[in-house]
Structure 1
Amino acid sequence: MPDVPDELALLVADVYEAAGVLRRSGEAIAGAQGQTQARWQVLSAVSEEPLSVARAARRLGVARQGVQRIANDLARDGLAEFRPNPDHRSSPLLGLTPQGRGVLDGITDRAAATHRVLAADIEPADIAAARHLLRRLIGQVRLLEGE
């Protein structure tokens, strides 16, 4: 019978490998719309409601400085705009422009088509079980880290 710590180590390695191949796929999907995956992630983070750069960075789990650079680039390119923040004058909110919404919609449509191809031979229950296991693992890691 396989050893649980060994199996978990192999699962972690598989997750990193999956993250790498999915990241490359995401770059190709975003690239078809003239974007990068990082820009796609920021567009997506602020798609439901405008957020401060710090809040968007927390949502994405990345450094605020990196999101600030991307936010500035998106604003410069007309895909996003900084809006006044009624709760914090020195921390404006980043929101999508109509052009940014169109770019995000194009990326999302392309991603959905890719996902349909990827999942064609995978049972929905298997995907749900994998997601459930990953969410449990993430929860355990956060507990261990004291979050």
Structure 2
Amino acid sequence: MPDEMALLVAEVFEAAGVLRRSGEAIAAADGQTQARWQLLSVVSEEPLTVARAARRLGIARQGVQRVANDLVREDLAVFRPNPDHRGSPLLALTPHGRRVLDKITRRATEVHRTLAADIPVDEIIRARALLHRLVERVNRHEGDGRIPPG
């Protein structure tokens, strides 16, 4: 009997890889990378410190800092003073950054509609719910020591 959980994990990794390649192509149409797109997106709701953005993205702070510096250099984002911590400025979108993010997001929406055209919405909703539950369980098990933190 196959280990269905192991097969699911393998499928998730494969899906992440092909979706990452697709995301790179979508972002590249506007001269961006997926990493830049993700960071623009994560600070689009509210300005965040680099450390908080890194936690939300689940990646190393140093990598996010490099991308943030690139976004600032290209006037896609700006560092603003942080009233809660002088040493950790907040990264916020500029109007130019908002326009670039909106263009990328519109293109991604078109691609997603094409990819999901023949997949019933309820299947997508159930898949999202399953992945959400799985992420919560992994986080909970890491927190109680049953899974070594990554």
- TM-score of the superposed pair, with normalisation by structure 1: 0.95
Partner of 1:105: 102
Partner of 1:76: 73
- TM-score of the superposed pair, with normalisation by structure 2: 0.93
Amino acid across the alignment from 1:29: I
Cα-to-partner distance string for 1:64-101 (whole Å, 9 max, x where unaligned): 10010000000000100000111111111000000000
Partner of 1:138: 135
Q: Which runs of 5+ in 1 are unaligned?
A: none
- Equivalenced residue count is 144
Amino acid across the alignment from 2:107: R
SS in 1 for 2:79: strand
Aligned-pair identity in percent equals 72
Cα displacement (A) at 1:16: 0.3
Cα-to-partner distance string for 1:99-128 (whole Å, 9 max, x where unaligned): 000000000000000010011000000001
Task: Output the CA distance in 1 between the equivalents of 2:92 and 2:133.
Answer: 32
Amino acid across the alignment from 1:60: L
Q: Which runs of 5+ in 2 are unaligned?
A: 145-150
Q: Does 1:23 align with 2:20?
A: yes
Partner of 2:11: 14
Amino acid across the alignment from 1:14: E
CA root-mean-square deviation = 1.0
